[in-house]
Amino acid sequence: MCFFSQNGTKKSWDCMQTHDSVSVLIFNTTSHCFILVKQFRPAVYMTEWERSKPKPLQPAEEESAEAAPAEPKVPEDDKAGEASEGTSSHQPPASAGVTYELCAGLVDKPNLSLEEIARQEVLEECGYDVSVTKLRKITSYRSGVGVTGSKQTMFYAEVSEENRVGEGGGKPQEGELIEVVKVPLHEAMTFAFDESIPKTMGVIFSFIWFHSNMSPKYKISTNV
Amino acid sequence: MCFFSQNGTKKSWDCMQTHDSVSVLIFNTTSHCFILVKQFRPAVYMTEWERSKPKPLQPAEEESAEAAPAEPKVPEDDKAGEASEGTSSHQPPASAGVTYELCAGLVDKPNLSLEEIARQEVLEECGYDVSVTKLRKITSYRSGVGVTGSKQTMFYAEVSEENRVGEGGGKPQEGELIEVVKVPLHEAMTFAFDESIPKTMGVIFSFIWFHSNMSPKYKISTNV
* Ranges of each domain in chain A: 19-48+94-217
B223 conformational bin, left if phi > 0, alpha if psi -120 to 50, beta if neither: left
* Whole-angstrom Cα Rg for chain A: 20
Q: Which residues of A touch B201 (CB under 8 A)?
A: 141-143, 152, 201-202, 205
Contact between residue B22 and residue B155 where contact means Cβ atoms under 8 Å apart: yes
Kindly state the DSSP code that residue A166 receives in the 8-state scheme. S
Kindly state whether A132 is in contact with chain B, defined as any CB-CB distance less than 8 angstroms: no
So what's the pLDDT on residue A6?
Answer: 54
Question: What does the pLDDT look like over A127-186, one tens digit per residue?
Answer: 999 999 999 999 999 987 877 788 999 999 999 999 999 999 988 887 777 999 999 999
Which residues 146-185 in chain A show a CB within 8 A of chain B? 146-152
B chain contacts of residue A97, beta-carbon cutoff 8 Å: 149
Query: Cβ of A151 and B202 within 8 Å?
Result: no
List, in sequence order, every beta strand (DSSP E) within chain B. 2-7, 10-15, 21-28, 33-40, 98-101, 103-106, 135-143, 150-159, 178-184
Instruction: Report the pLDDT value the prediction gives residue B57, as an integer from 0 to 100.
Output: 61
Average model confidence (pLDDT) across chain A: 81
Give the model confidence (pLDDT) of B187-205 as tens digits.
999 999 999 999 999 999 9
Helix and strand numbers (H, E) in chain A are 6, 9
What is the pLDDT averaged over residues A102-125?
Answer: 95
pLDDT tens profile B21-80: 999 999 999 999 999 999 988 888 888 888 887 766 655 444 444 444 444 444 444 444
Strand partners, B223: none
Residues of chain A above pLDDT 70, percent: 74
pLDDT of A162 reads 96
CA distances from A65 to A55, A61, A103, A152, B108 (A): 9, 10, 33, 32, 11
Instruction: Provide the sign of the torsion angle of the four alpha carbons B55, B56, B59, B60, taken in this order.
Output: negative
Under the banding of pLDDT at 50, 70 and 90, the label for residue A80 is very low
3-state secondary structure of B147: coil
Q: How far apart are CA A111 and CA B65, in angstroms?
A: 8
With a cut of 0.85, is the ipTM above it? Answer: no
Please, what CATH class does the domain formed by A19-48+94-217 belong to? alpha beta
pTM above 0.90, yes or no: no
Dihedral sign, Cα of residue A166, residue A140, residue B118, residue A56: positive
Which pLDDT belongs to residue A132?
96
Helices (H), ranges, A28-103? 42-52, 81-84
Interface test with A, best of B6, B45, B52, B64 (most A CBs within 10 A): B64
Between CA B200 and CA B41 the distance in angstroms is: 12
Question: What pLDDT, on a 0 to 100 scale, did the predictor assign at position B59?
Answer: 53
- The alpha-helical segments, DSSP class H, found in chain B are 42-52, 81-84, 114-121, 188-193, 201-213, 215-218
Partnered with residue A141 across adjacent β-strands are A152
Question: Are B64 and A109 within 8 A, CB to CB?
Answer: yes
Q: Contact B91/B49 with Cβ under 8 angstroms?
A: yes
Q: Are B145 and A36 in contact (CB under 8 A)?
A: no
**Per-residue pLDDT reduced to its tens digit, B135-155:** 999 999 998 787 777 899 999
pLDDT number for residue A58: 53
Least confident window among A78-82, A97-101, A122-126, B106-110:
A78-82
Residue A99 has pLDDT above 60, yes or no: yes
pLDDT given for residue B35 in this prediction = 98
Cβ contacts of B152 within 8 Å, gap of 6 or more: A201, B20, B21, B22, B23, B104, B140, B141, B142, B143, B202
Side chain identity, residue A98: V
* Residue-wise pLDDT tens digits, A170-197: 888 877 779 999 999 999 999 999 999 9
Residue A55 — very low, low, confident or very high, per pLDDT cuts 50/70/90?
low
How far apart CA B203 and CA B188 sit, in angstroms, is: 10
Contact between chains at B142 and A205 (C-beta distance less than 8 A): no
User: How far apart (Å, rounded) are the C-alpha atoms in residues A86 and A88?
Assistant: 6
Average pLDDT over chain B reads 81
Q: Is B92 in the A-facing interface, judged by CB distances under 8 Å?
A: no
Most confident by average pLDDT, A36-45, A93-102, B90-99, B112-121: B112-121
pLDDT of residue B177: 76
Task: Tell me the C-alpha distance between B83 and B41, whole Å.
Answer: 11
Residue B102 burial (CB count, 10 A) = 26
Query: Helix B201-213 and helix A201-213: axis angle, to 10°?
Result: 40
Q: Does A212 touch chain B (CB under 8 A)?
A: yes
